[in-house]
Amino acid sequence: MNNIGKWIAIDEDGIWCSPFTDSYFFTTKKAIIKDISDAELDARKTPKIIRESEGVYIYKPKSCDTNTFSKEYTIIRLTKENVEKYEEQISEQERSLYADLWY
Q: 7 or 1: which carries more pLDDT confidence?
A: 7
The number of folded domains in the chain is 1
* Residue 77 pLDDT: 97
Across the chain, how many H-helices and E-strands are there? 2, 5
**φ, ψ (nearest 5 deg) of residue 2:** -100, 95
What torsion do the CA atoms of 37, 60, 56, 49 make, to the nearest 10 degrees?
80
Average pLDDT score, the chain? 87
Q: How many CB atoms lie within 10 A of CB 61?
A: 22
Its domain, for residue 42, covers 7-102
User: 1 in a domain, yes or no?
Assistant: no
Q: How many CB atoms lie within 10 A of CB 97?
A: 11
User: 2 in a domain, yes or no?
Assistant: no
**At 44, is the pLDDT very low, low, confident or very high (cuts 50, 70, 90)?**
confident
For residue 88, the surrounding DSSP H or E stretch is helix 83-102
User: 13 in a domain, yes or no?
Assistant: yes
